[in-house]
Amino acid sequence: MPKLTLDEFFNYTDFTSLTLAPDNSQSILIQTRHRIWNNNISEYHLHLYSLDDKSKILLTRHASSLLRPRWQGEWIAYLSGNQSNTIYLYSTRMKQTFPLPLSNESIHAFTLSNINTSLYFAARTSWTNEADKAYKNEWNDIIEYRDKERGDTIYRVNLEDINQFQIEILANISLRVVELICSSDGKRLVYSTESTLQHIESMDDYEIYSIDLTDRSSTIPRRLTNNQAIERNLKWFNNDSFLFTVTGEGSIDGEYRDTQGRLYSFDLLTGNIHRWANQFKGSIRAYDLLENGRQGLIILGQLNTEIQVYTQQSISSPLVKKIGWNGTYESIVTTYADNKSIIAFLHSSFDTPQEVYFVDNIDQLTLAQSITYENKLFKERNLPKGTSYRWLNKDDGTEIEGILLYPPDKFQQKNLPLLVLIHGGPYHADLNVFYADWYFCAIMMATEGWLVLQPNYRGSSGYGDDFLYGVRLKMVSRPGKDILFGVDALIRDGSIDGEYRDTQGRLYSFDLLTGNIHRWANQFKGSIRAYDLLENGRQGLIILGQLNTEIQVYAQQSISSPLAKKIGWNGTYESIITTYADNKSIIAFLHSSFDAPQEVYFVDNIDQLTLAQSITYENKLFKERNLPKGTSYRWLNKDDGTEIEGILLYPPDKFQEKNLPLLVLIHGGPYVGDWNVFYADWDFCAIMMATEGWLVLQPNYRGSSGN
């Protein structure tokens, strides 16, 4: 079979939501994401599939990527990505879609009642025309940061006459609604909240509330929770209790502490909260009711590098792992009617792309049938093969696990080039799964010939709360060592070429007559950053070399000649270019330093760099400001005696003063360095941080260039 191409890789179809028909009518609603390259957009398609004959009906190409559809009775409700203030209702009986423009503001959450023709939604509280006009007159063209602090209004929509629907206000609240769910008897509405700005400023903003729908005279929300956690994935268990999850965002009991995914139920009669699967060492990823809750719950749990299916009949019952395929189960949904179950889910593994499957018995997962074939092309390609890989952090004896993906046809071969692909977590993990996009690119990297190691370092989920919490207070050093010990293990067992080494920047010439390659400046200890010809090459090369914390100008007449450093300004030279005609040279370059912003300079003699004249004055304003002053700073790693160097930036007027507050700003490298230069943007923000009063340390740790 042919190997996967880059274009094919990026045309992978993602499944973003599954919704089963509530009446067990052998239908499922599937939302997919498709990349439309010619228009530089992603489209979210919503299809209604028949489980009987696998036929499908396209409802829309422009579903919202933020809120999943809802289905009750004959009505399917969904948002459009083009109109966030309009809910669309598709009737499975009439085969017709009805748009409902409901608000002037974007809709944040919605749900349907299953006992009457009611739709509930939450949107930001609208202003009157007069209030809106007054606000615009006051603020004119200035954007107020706190403008979005208006809370939400929760509405009820009467759908008895779809052509003349009526909207009534249920409650005005000071927070933003995240999720809405209506009880099966239609008597209660439960919702979760977050801050109006969607920034975590107070944990009090993240709670669960209920509204009594039977008392129309008083629909004041009642607060149900009061804890240090962010509750997600609300679902009714029965009319008197509902379920929710907490994943890496606080804790139900006591002070704030991040944990793996946990599953809880809330009893509305007693106010008690109970934890399900409390003996499970891994992370709860998803759940649904089994036979409408009569048989308890289906739970997707991540343990190590797989997400598998479990069941639990009650809070006190044991968690039972179900026999299924290796890999990752996701987005499991269930329905139960007329004593018949349907269970649908996503599944994928290292070499099996993601598709939707269904089965009618939780004990027969391996007999599940595929509903979709969106990614069938990937089954026709020679894909990488993967396995889990374990090693020890020899500092503390902790076992670490990761994923190894081998190039096609090279499974478990030795002496392969290594690519370490580190997930951004930390509360995440790389799994036996098939994803394909710009972030999850391991499959493509392995296809290109790399042995890809994806380490689940300390802080990763699926290995217990202590392992997850191990990243705290040592967020760089401990995960870093976890990863490096994994590389050492691969070298020891011969999986990777231990002789392969990354190097600093080097400069080479290629002889077209002999085919020989020669290295220039081969005695230079630092990193070559740029070069150009000196007098069209007759005088050799001008070379920009980074040594320690500066990039300076050097010249070399031939491969065998010594490298000569030219006298110039302290700081950083960049982007040097030359021209030579009529026995005259022009040399242009960028230069900057701690307190001298970057400008373009030129000179006609390489030996007169300090006489260079400025061509541009784009950043002259910075020369009129009281800027931080910097210096290099060196210290010893006392474990092995290695000298480390970094940059110290002092606040304005406080150069070399003592007792200053410290900010450590670490470059993302590793094969770069911080040096005597003037950069100003979101990534290079040290100058602004020092201006705000911090002593900024920028360490050039092991792996940095120029040393």
pLDDT digits (tens, 9 = 90+) for 348-391: 999 999 999 999 999 999 999 999 999 999 999 999 999 999 99
Structural domain includes residue 149: yes
φ and ψ at residue 31, rounded to 5 degrees = -105, 135
Specify the pLDDT at position 424.
87
pLDDT value at residue 499? 65
Give CA separation, 155 vs 64, 76, 377, in Å. Answer: 20, 18, 45
The answer to whether 108 and 176 have CB atoms below 8 angstroms apart is yes
Q: How confident is the model at residue 260 (pLDDT cuts 50, 70, 90)?
A: very high
Highest mean pLDDT among 337-341, 576-580, 669-673: 576-580
From residue 275, give the alpha-carbon distance in Å to each of 27, 180, 266, 664: 33, 21, 9, 40
Domain presence at residue 124 = yes
Mean pLDDT of 534-557: 94
Residue 707 has pLDDT above 90, yes or no: no
Share of the chain above pLDDT 90, in %: 79
pLDDT, position 501:
56
Prior bond to 670 cis, omega within 30? yes
pLDDT for 462 equals: 97
Among the candidates 492, 526, 549, a domain finishes at: 492
Tell me the C-alpha distance between 199 and 207, whole Å: 14
Q: Quick: pLDDT tens for 621-646.
A: 999 999 999 999 999 999 889 999 99
How far is 543 from 56, CA to CA, in rounded Å? 63
* Of the candidates 541, 525, 542, the residue with the CA atom closest to the CA atom of residue 589: 542
Amino acid 475: pLDDT: 80
Is the pLDDT at 162 greater than 90? The verdict is no
What per-residue string of b and e applies to 316-338 under the rule 16 or more CB within 10 Å gives b?
eeebeebebbebbbbbbbbbbee
As beta bridge partners, residue 58 has 47
Task: Flag whether pLDDT at 523 surpasses 70.
Answer: yes
**Residue 579 shares a structural domain with residue 678:** no
Q: Are residues 444 and 474 in the same domain?
A: yes
The closest alpha carbon to 362, from 419, 428, 290, belongs to 290
Pick from 555, 501, 502, 500: which is nearest to 524 by CA? 555
Residue 558 lies in a domain: yes
Q: Based on the number of CB atoms within 10 Å of its own CB, is 610 exposed (0-12), middle (13-18) or buried (19 or more)? A: exposed
Instruction: Please report, for the domain that includes residue 154, its CATH number.
Output: 2.120.10.30
Higher pLDDT, 313 or 509: 313
In a domain, 540, yes or no: yes
Q: What is the mean pLDDT of residues 678-695?
A: 93
Q: How confident is the model at residue 147 (pLDDT cuts 50, 70, 90)?
A: low
Question: Does 148 lie in the same domain as 126?
Answer: yes
Q: Is residue 543 assigned to a domain?
A: yes
Is residue 40 a part of any domain in this protein? no
Q: Is residue 406 in a domain?
A: yes
Q: Are residues 236 and 107 in the same domain?
A: yes
Q: Which residue has the tokens 């209790």?
A: 241
Q: Which domain holds residue 212?
A: 102-276
527 shares a domain with 468: no
Same domain (yes/no): 134, 220: yes
Q: Cis ω on the peptide bond leading into residue 221 (within 30° of 0)?
A: no
The per-residue pLDDT for 673 is: 87
pLDDT at residue 250 greater than cutoff 60? yes
Q: Where are the beta strands (DSSP E) in 159-261?
A: 166-172, 176-182, 188-194, 208-212, 222-223, 228-229, 232-238, 241-246, 250-251
Residues 6 or more apart whose CB falls under 8 angstroms from that of 108 comprise 122, 123, 124, 152, 176, 177, 178
Q: Average pLDDT of 205-224?
A: 90
Q: Mean pLDDT score of the chain, rounded to an integer?
A: 93
Q: Where are the alpha helices (DSSP H) in 586-676?
A: 620-623
Percentage of the chain with pLDDT > 70?
Answer: 98
* Model confidence at 520: pLDDT above 60: yes
- Which class for 220: exposed (0-12), middle (13-18), buried (19 or more C-beta within 10 A)? exposed
Residues 485 and 561 in one domain: no
| Measured distance between the N- and C-terminal CA atoms of the chain, rounded to whole angstroms | 46
Is the domain of 559 the same as that of 617?
yes
Task: Assign residue 423 the CATH number of its domain.
Answer: 3.40.50.1820
Indicate whether 434 and 540 sit together in one domain.
no
Q: What pLDDT score does 164 carry? A: 85
Q: What is the pLDDT of residue 129?
A: 84
Say whether both 117 and 244 belong to one domain.
yes
In-domain check, residue 292: no
For residue 393, the surrounding DSSP H or E stretch is strand 385-393
Chain centroid offset of residue 463 CA: 20
pLDDT of residue 502: 59
Same domain, 188 and 244: yes
End position of a domain, from candidates 276, 301, 328: 276
pLDDT value of residue 358: 96
List pLDDT tens digits, range 391-433. Answer: 999 999 999 999 999 999 999 999 999 999 999 888 999 999 9
Mean pLDDT of 140-165: 83
Picking from 593, 608, 623, the residue at the C-terminal end of a domain is: 623
Query: What is the predicted pLDDT for the residue at 141?
Result: 77
Shared-domain flag, residues 487 and 544? no
On the question of pLDDT at 249 being above 60, the answer is yes
Domain count, the chain: 4
- Identify the three-state secondary structure at position 596: strand
Phi, then psi, of 34 in degrees rounded to 5: -125, 135
pLDDT at 25 over 80: no
Q: Which of 64, 77, 73, 175 is nearest to 121 (CA)?
A: 77
